[in-house]
Amino acid sequence: MVQKYYESDADPRTLEDKTVAVIGYGSQGRGQALNLRDSGCRVVIGLRPGGSWQKASEDGFEVYSVAEAVKRADVIQILLPDENQGAIYRAEISPNIRENACLMFSHGFNIHYGQIVPPPTVDVVMVAPKGPGHMVRRTYEEGKGVPALIAVHQDATGGAHAIALAYARGIGATRAVVLETTFAEETETDLFGEQAVLCGGVTSLIKAGFETLVDAGYAPEMAYLEVLHEMKLIVDLIYEGGFTQMRDSISNTAQYGDLTRGPRVIGPETYMAMQEILEEIQNGKFAKEWMLENMVNRPVFNALTRAGEEHLIEQVGAEIRGFMPQFRK
Ligand code: NDP
Ligand code: MG
Ligand code: MG
C-alpha cells in the first residue's frame, strides 16, 4: 500500500528558519503562498513584471525578480507553466540557487523528462496538491485541506523528505492526506488522467454524444442538456459514493442501459487507444511533441483550441446557461 501522512507526521519547525520563494503567482502560486503565510512561514514571491506581480503585491507579499527571489530562498517552489520552466530555470534559477537549497515542484514533468537537471548539491522534491489553486486556498480557509502527493527525487541534505512534508502541512494538505509517490509515477499518471479520462476523454465523449443526437435530427438544446448539463449531476454522485451509489440513485432503466450499453461505447478500440496514449507518455513522445509545439508558437494547440470554441455545443451551451440563474455572473 502507498505510504500516507497526516498532520502529526509533519514537523512545522522544519520550515521555521527558512525562506520559501514561490516562483509564479497563478493558480497554484497564489493558493500555496497565501496558505504558507497563514501557517507562519516566511514567503517571498518571484515573478516578471505584469499582472501576477501586481496581484502578489496587493496581497501583501514581497515580490522580486525570479533571480532575486531565488537568491534569498532556502526552499524554491517552482509554480510556473510547465512548458516555460526549463528556460526560466536555466536563465534565472540555476545561476542563483544556494548550495543545500530545496528545489520544489507541483508536477514532475520537467524533472522526469530531463528539461531541468539540478546540481547534486540541492534537494529536489515534489509537493503536488490534487486540486486547482483556488480550492487549495478555499479549503484551507475552511479549516480543511486538499490532498497532496509528495516525492523526493534527490536528497542532498538528508532533510528533503522532512521539508516536503512540512511544506505539505503548511499548505494544509496534511489536514486531508498526503501520499508518497515518485516523480515518474506522478507525471505519468497525471498526464494519462488528463489526456485519456478527465479532460480529453470526457470532452470527446460529450462531443460524440452531442453530435450523434444532433445528426439524427434532435434539437441541439435537448442534446446539450442530456449529454453535457447532466454530466455534472452524475459525476457528483460518483464522486460522493462511487459507481454503486450513482446506480442506486438512477432509475432501473437507466442502470440497465448503463451496464449493457456502456461497454459498447468504450470498447476494445478505446482500450487500445488508451494503451498507446500511455506508451507515448512513458517513452517521452508526448513530452517531446509538446516541447516542440511550444518552440514553434503552438500552431496545433491554437488551431484545435479555436475549433473547439467554434463548435455548435459551445454556442448552444452559452445560450442555455444564459437562461439559468445559477450560471449568471
Ligand atoms: P498558471 O499558469 O496559473 O500561473 C503561472 C504563473 O507563472 C503566473 O503567475 C505567471 O505570471 C508566471 N510566469 C509565467 N511566465 C513567467 C516568466 N517568464 N517569469 C516569471 N513568471 C512567469 O500556472 P499553474 O498554477 O496552473 O501551474 C503551476 C504549476 O503547478 C505547474 O507545474 C502545474 O503543472 C502545477 N499544477 C497545477 C494545478 C492547477 O490546478 N492549475 C494542479 C496541480 C499542479 P504572469 O502573470 O506574469 O504571466
Ligand atoms: Mg496536469
Ligand atoms: Mg435522462
Q: Which atom of ligand 1 is nearest to the CA of 52?
A: 46
| Confidence at residue 136, expressed as pLDDT on a 0 to 100 scale | 98
Q: In whole angstroms, give the CA distance from residue 180 to residue 127.
A: 10
Which ligand number lies closest to the CA of residue 254? 3
For 285, phi then psi, to 5°, come to -65, -45
Say how far apart CA 32 and CA 137 lie, in whole Å: 7
Give the pLDDT of residue 1: 85
Domain residue extents for the chain: 4-181, 199-266+297-327
Q: How far apart are CA 78 and CA 212, in angstroms?
A: 43
List residues near ligand 1 (CB under 6 A). Answer: 24-29, 47-48, 50-52, 66, 79-82, 84, 88, 106-107, 128-129, 132-133
Task: Specify binding-site residues for NADP(+).
Answer: 25-28, 48, 52, 133
Q: Three cell numbers at 328?
A: 449568471
C-alpha cell belonging to residue 85: 520552466
C-alpha cell at 109: 514533468
Q: What is the pLDDT of residue 182?
A: 98
DSSP state of 143: T
User: What is the phi-psi region of residue 268: left when phi exceeds 0, alpha when psi lies from -120 to 50, beta otherwise?
Assistant: alpha
For atom 17 of ligand 1, which residue has the closest CA? Answer: 48
Query: Ligand 1, atom 4: nearest CA belongs to which residue?
Result: 26
pTM of this structure: 0.93
Q: What is the DSSP letter of 65?
A: E
Catalytic sites, residue numbers: 107
Ligand nearest to the backbone CA of 130: 1
Indicate left, alpha or beta for 114 from its phi (over 0: left) and psi (-120 to 50: alpha).
Answer: left
- Please name the helix (run of DSSP H) or strand (run of DSSP E) that holds residue 148, with its range, or none: strand 148-154
Q: Examine the pLDDT at 179 and tell me if it is beyond 90.
A: yes
131 CA distance to ligand 2 centroid (A)?
A: 10
Taking the centre of ligand 3 as the mean of its atom positions, its distance from the CA of residue 321, in whole angstroms, is 18
Q: CA-based angle 96:168:47, to the nearest 5?
A: 35
Q: List pLDDT tens digits, range 240-274.
A: 999 999 999 999 999 999 999 999 999 999 999 99
Q: How far is the CA of 33 from the centre of ligand 1 (A)?
A: 13
Q: Which CATH architecture has domain 4-181?
A: 3-Layer(aba) Sandwich (3.40)
Residue with CA nearest ligand 1 atom 48: 52
**Other CB atoms closer than 10 Å to residue 57's CB: what's the count?**
14
- 199-226 residue pLDDT tens: 999 999 999 999 999 999 999 999 999 9
Which pLDDT band holds residue 327 (cuts at 50, 70, 90)?
confident
Average pLDDT, integer, range 118-144: 97
CA of 177 to the centre of ligand 3 (A): 36
Listing DSSP states for 188-225 in one string gives HHHHHIIIIIITHHHHHHHHHHHHHHHHTT--HHHHHI
Apex 63 CA angle, 89 and 52, nearest 5:
80
| Per-residue CA distances from 317 to 146, 223, 225, 307, 327 (Å) | 30, 10, 9, 15, 11
Taking only the tens place, the pLDDT of each residue in 63-72 is: 999 999 999 9
Q: What is the rounded average pLDDT for all residues in the chain?
A: 97
**Nearest ligand to residue 48 Cα:** 1
Q: Which residues are annotated as a binding site?
A: 25-28, 48, 52, 133, 190, 194, 226, 230, 251
CA distance 191 to 283: 13
| Alpha-carbon gap, residue 187 to 105, rounded angstroms | 11
Give distance in angstroms: CA of 108 to centre of ligand 1. 14
The per-residue pLDDT for 328 is 79
Q: How many helices (H) and strands (E) does the chain have?
A: 16, 9
Query: Using 50, 70 and 90 to split pLDDT, how confident is the model at 326?
Result: confident
pLDDT of residue 20: 98
Look-up: residue for cell 514537523?
11
Minimal CA–CA distance to 154: which of 112, 206, 187, 216? 112
Is residue 329's pLDDT more than 80?
no
CA–CA distance, 171 with 35 (Å, rounded to integer): 5
Positions at the binding site for Mg(2+): 190, 194, 226, 230
Q: How many residues does the chain have?
A: 329
